[in-house]
Amino acid sequence: MRRKEFLAVGMAAAVGARVDAPGGHLRPDPAPQDIRSQFPRLHGEAFLNGGGGTPLSTFTQAAIERYMDVARFGTGGERGAWWFDVWDGIRGRFASLIGASAHEVAPVECTKAGEQIVLDGLPRLQTGGTVVTNDLHFQGSLHNLEGRRRAGHPVVVVRGDGSRVPTQRMLDAIDDRTALVTVSLVSNVTGHVEDLRAISEAAHRHGAVVFADIIQAAGIVPVDVEAMGVDVAACSTYKWLFGIHGAGLLYVAERHQGSTLPDTLWPGGARRLYEPFAESGEPGTLSFTPREDADRYRPGHVNYLGYAAADAGLRFIETVGVDALLAHSVALNRRIVEGIDRDRYEVLSPHLDRSPILSLAARDLAAVRGRLAQSDVVVSTGGDRHDLIRISPAIYNDESDVDRLLEVLNG
């Protein structure tokens, strides 16, 4: 089946179809029902919260189980061949997804750990440089930046209108004092998509660095860090990369590695150059030899099991294609927008054709929550806005999920 057909049929995919995933991999060009049946949570729920985190798929579970065998029995034979292929390849797989090179990618714990490497490492931030962000950046990052502001460091939070942040407001906030601009490429609040190209150009004109939180983009929205001019980016793998918590990926453009963005973390790059550790050397000195590439930002041993899961997710994304994944979410969101009672719900999402997130402002959120609690429909409510319903369908959803949601919303 071709991808276009897949999209068309995907809208009508049936629940409970045959699982066909030998060794955890789907066949090339999988049928929609094969995909849906790989996500057991969908058998019991109309789960429409991919932006919160993916339900675990059978193909990801299979990879996790394979890694467990490596952990239990070691890397002998087939087990090692599989695992080294995964571990050696994961940086390249992610790099291909975001338009980077493998040596520009490092494993980190999560998105915010990647952002923190920039906040801690950029020399200009230690000498009074300003951080510019906006109020659609991730709440956890805003928490961090507000703490920074209260500790006396300059932070500018550009305000939007609750749905989007006009790019011009960002450009107006960037000046010669700016050391870092940090934003979410796709907002988890409304699905607003930043114009990173314009923001990067302005930032670079003033000698500033751009960090992009790409957790709501990687695997579902086309990302090209080079074309976007992004300097550093990071994400966890438990949302649109179909992995699990605790395994993130960091991108650092080659031009910044070890220079604009110094590193201090990788354990093992220092040697004691004095007796009894070494025969000779200046007493009291340590050598310092960081890794050559982005691996220098790796904090140490990481969640290998999580990367086995992420590898399965990345292979799945390669099989289906980011364009097809996004088109599927967009088509389902369109159906929801057409079906909701517009007297009761205002559409907040400004970029419905470019992001998988459909956010609604509800006139009576308490009533909706009451109906959701009685149903098998899962979406995100409240959180960043008092009246917010966030719906984020993915490739495992179909029209039957949308219809169940519409019944609850319009009930």
Ligand X SMILES: Cc1ncc(COP(=O)(O)O)c(C=O)c1O
Give the footprint of ligand X on this chain (CB under 6 A).
110-112, 138, 140, 184, 188, 213, 215-216, 236, 248
Rounded to a whole number of angstroms, the minimum distance from the CB of residue 185 to ligand X is: 8
Rounded to a whole number of angstroms, the minimum distance from the CB of residue 138 to ligand X is: 3
Gyration radius of the chain's alpha carbons: 23
The C-alpha atoms of residue 227 and residue 42 are separated, in whole angstroms, by 36
Nearer to ligand X, 40 or 140 (CB): 140
Rounded to a whole number of angstroms, the minimum distance from the CB of residue 213 to ligand X is: 5
Q: Which residue is nearest to ligand X (CB)?
A: 188
What token pair was written down for 386? 């008092």
Q: Which residues of 216-243 are buried (b: 16+ CB within 10 A; e: fewer)?
A: bbbbbbebebeebbbbbbbbbbbbbbbb
Nearer to ligand X, 133 or 216 (CB): 216
Contact 372, 381 (CB under 8 A): yes
Rounded to a whole number of angstroms, the minimum distance from the CB of residue 248 to ligand X is: 6
Rounded to a whole number of angstroms, the minimum distance from the CB of residue 401 to ligand X is: 21
Nearer to ligand X, 111 or 303 (CB): 111
Mark out the alpha helices in 47-180 (DSSP H runs): 58-73, 77-98, 111-121, 123-126, 139-150, 167-173
Nearer to ligand X, 140 or 258 (CB): 140
Rounded to a whole number of angstroms, the minimum distance from the CB of residue 32 to ligand X is: 27
What token pair was written down for 204? 């670079």
The C-alpha atoms of residue 328 and residue 74 are separated, in whole angstroms, by 40
Nearer to ligand X, 111 or 163 (CB): 111
The C-alpha atoms of residue 237 and residue 246 are separated, in whole angstroms, by 8
What token pair was written down for 45? 């729920």
Nearer to ligand X, 189 or 202 (CB): 189
The C-alpha atoms of residue 105 and residue 307 are separated, in whole angstroms, by 13
